Amino acid sequence: RESFLKISPQEEGFEIEKDMGIGLSKIDKAALIYNNDKETGYVLSVVDNNKNGDMYYWFEDFLKVKQRDDEYFHTQEALMVYKDYITKQLPQEFEVSKADQADFLNKSINFFKEKEEFKLDEFANEVLGDEHVIESFNNFKTDYEQDMQINIAEEFPISEAAVKKTQRHFKSIIKLDKNFHIYIHGDRQKIATGEDEKGKYYMLYFDKEV
């Protein structure tokens, strides 16, 4: 238990008193059950900060809960399956550079920021483009859904909250040995790669320094 200050508005000022409670930063596992939606299933806020890999025990075996099937869930899962595909599967099937992968990630997060509704066909055509890559992604998505035992809708309203939370995992960074990190935020056409007698290199084109 930790001490904390409780501040309550009182007329033209505030009342401050000391109280005791449990610090959120030190909670290992917790579940807050809201007393509503009894007929369709109670809504919970669940915390699991344990890094030992027993997440499924806490969620499925102990609490017996599942994530809500709403726009937040579909937005988050669609982004994560796409990120996994670009970073893991795409380079195994196609010849792509790290800059290409970064460009795909940027395009995807921009799509979710700019659109109000997700449509798989529209996303695939605008972001992936190539029909062979689209087919490969659809196969990967099917396998992902089977492995994770979930179903990601092909059309759903995009959740801004889910995009904001998930985009921090979409870091378009090229790491060169232990010497340099290149952060890519925009135009893929302004990045070129090559190799000479000194080794591999990147060329970056720009209009002005900021």
Residue 64 φ/ψ region, left for φ over 0, alpha for ψ in the -120 to 50 degree band, beta for the rest: left
**pLDDT tens for each residue of 84-102:** 888 888 888 888 778 788 8
What's the CA gap between 55 and 59, in Å, rounded? 6
Confidence (pLDDT) at 117? 92
Confidence (pLDDT) at 56? 66
**pLDDT tens for each residue of 44-84:** 777 777 766 666 677 777 877 777 778 888 998 889 889 88
CB 27 within 8 A of CB 49: yes
Confidence (pLDDT) at 156? 92
Q: End-to-end alpha-carbon separation of the chain, Å?
A: 49
Confidence (pLDDT) at 122? 92
CB 145 within 8 A of CB 138: no
What's the CA gap between 182 and 99, in Å, rounded? 9
Confidence (pLDDT) at 52? 64
Confidence (pLDDT) at 196? 81
Confidence (pLDDT) at 188? 66
Query: Which amino acid is located at 144 in the chain?
Result: Y
Mean pLDDT for 107-111 is 88
Confidence (pLDDT) at 185? 67
DSSP result, 95-161: ---HHHHHHHHHHHHHHHHH-SEEEHHHHIIIII--HHHHHHHHHHHHHHHHHHT----SEEEPPHH
Confidence (pLDDT) at 54? 64
Specify which residues 201 forms β-bridges with.
194
Confidence (pLDDT) at 53? 60
What's the CA gap between 183 and 102, in Å, rounded? 9
- pTM, entire model: 0.65
Query: Which amino acid is located at 183 in the chain?
Result: Y
Pairs from 147-150 (Cβ < 8 Å, separation ≥ 24): 150/77
Task: Name the 3-class secondary structure at 31.
Answer: strand
Task: Name the residue ranges covered by the structural domains of the chain.
Answer: 2-62, 67-210
**pLDDT tens for each residue of 134-185:** 999 999 999 988 888 788 888 999 999 888 888 777 776 777 777 777 776 6
Confidence (pLDDT) at 157? 93
